[in-house]
Structure 1
Amino acid sequence: MSAELRDHYDGLAESLTGLRSQSPRITRWGGVLAQRLTAGGRLLAAGNGGSAAEAQHLTAELVGRFRDDRQPFSAIALCAETSSVTAIGNDYGYDHVFARQVTAHARPGDVVVLLSTSGRSRNLIEAARAGRQAGALVWAMTGPAPNPLAEAADDALVLPGRSANVQEAQLVAVHVLCKAFEAALPAADRRVS
């Protein structure tokens, strides 16, 4: 194995070890998410680039299913709203593409999840501020702290490592969050009628 590949694997191991150490946070998030979504709240998620794909992955697992057959829950990937993203970017600037959508959609009882490997994306920081102003609970999944997105959120899952390794570990975090969410659902919401 080349030194470059070994370095990548070692970096991923570091990020995953950081993720494992935050298992109590993810379990808590799963319980809160189950409580809020079963009460009629929704999840709004956003990210840029690969983190946008992770945001879409998270919402797909909630609207569809992760493991167990159960009712669908409301979850929207704001980054997938291409007409909104391009119109807002054109009319207001790219820093506002998610904040304006959060302002339009977020309500008290909702959860906003923002994914960024750097934690420095201005459009996600603005979305965090908009989410908190709307009364939604704002969670960030980011790379190393300190970073402005983690500071702007109500709570943050902060992972060590380089950008690519953080993004790989965030996929695992999305799956673990979905597993914790489904485990926390009341029995009635686990069954499809």
Structure 2
Amino acid sequence: MVLNELKLHQTTINKVIEQLVPDIEKGCELVKESILKGRKILLAGNGGSAADAQHIAAEFTGRFVKERKALPAIALTVDTSALTAISNDYGFANVFSRQINAYAQENDLFIAISTSGNSENIISAIHAAKKLGCKIIGLSGRDGGQMNEICDLNIVVPDDVTARIQEMHILIGHIFCKAVDDTF
């Protein structure tokens, strides 16, 4: 069982290497550009993708590997009072867009994470970020869903298994962090 699972992961990583290197490189450039311009990074996702958003934000505000200055990154998934109040008052579809409207400014970067590319609250947040003039990187899977049409760059992991997609999302997030580390 273990060897079979590892081989399935290896198949997914091989597809990522074959198909996504140019998109991941573009993502690295967008992240570095935002940081070098003094802009902030906002991240959001649901479930495991919420955890990924928090993990990536922590790598920017803390550190990834090397010592460098703290960088502005906010996971919109961490404030339980805001999450529950916004969901209660405005509906769960607006839980992230409302925060985008509160925190985002022109030329900030929004990293939107949805394994299906169709999560209603993520789609709503992307629209809000676009209205404010933010750049948007999507991390999705399967066929990319609606995020294909509305992100500046949607990195679509070529797999249908949620766990594998999420594992690649955190790997891609770490590659973004490495690109930033290499810049400082």
TM-score by length of 2: 0.92
Let me know the Cα RMSD of the aligned residues: 1.6
Aligned with 1:76: secondary structure? strand
Range 32-41 or range 102-111, more displaced: 32-41
- Among all aligned residue pairs of Structure 1 and Structure 2, give the percentage whose two residues are the same amino acid: 36
Q: Residues 27 and 153 of structure 2 are in contact (CA less than 8 Å); yes or no, is this contact kept in structure 1?
A: no
Aligned to 2:180: 181
Tell me, yes or no, if the aligned pair for 1:12 and 1:166 is still in contact at 8 Å: no
Q: In the aligned structure 1, how far is the partner of 2:118 from the partner of 2:7?
A: 24
Using the alignment, how far apart are the partners of 1:18 and 1:91 within structure 2?
42
TM-superposed deviation, 1:72: 0.8
Query: Which deviates more, 144-153 or 96-105?
Result: 144-153
Secondary structure of the 1:65 match is coil
1:9 is matched with: 6
Report the Cα offset of residue 16 of structure 1: 1.5
Tell me which moved more, 17-26 or 93-102. Answer: 17-26
Question: Equivalent residue for 1:72?
Answer: 70
* Residues 1:19 and 2:5 aligned together: no
What do the CA deviations read for 1:50-109 (whole angstroms, capped 9, x no partner)? 000100011001001111111111000001121111110000000000011111111112
1:63 aligns with 2:53: no
Q: Which residue of 1 aligns with 2:168?
A: 169
Deviates more, 1:55-64 or 1:24-33: 24-33
What is residue 40 of structure 1 aligned with on the other side?
Answer: 38
Distance 2:112 2:165 in 1: 14
What residue in structure 1 maps to residue 153 of structure 2?
Answer: 155
The AA in structure 2 aligned to 1:152 is I
Q: Is the 8 A contact 1:27 1:180 kept in 2?
A: no
CA–CA separation in structure 1 for the residues paired with 2:165 and 2:144 = 15
What whole-Å deviation, never above 9, does each CA across 1:6-50 have from its counterpart, x for those lacking one?
Answer: 2x4344223322322312222232222222212220000000000
Mapped to 1, the partners of 2:148 and 2:162 lie a distance apart of 15
When structure 1 is superposed on structure 2, of 127-136 and 19-28 the one drifting more is: 19-28
> Normalised by the size of structure 1, how large is the TM-score?
0.88
Query: Which residue pairs with 1:52 in the alignment?
Result: 50
The 8 Å contact of residues 45 and 76 in structure 1, kept in 2 or not, is answered as: yes
Aligned to 1:79, what secondary structure does the other structure show? coil
Higher relative contact order (CA 8 A, sep 6+): 1
Q: Runs in 1 of length 4+ with deviation above 6 angstroms?
A: none
Stretch moving more, 74-83 or 23-32: 23-32
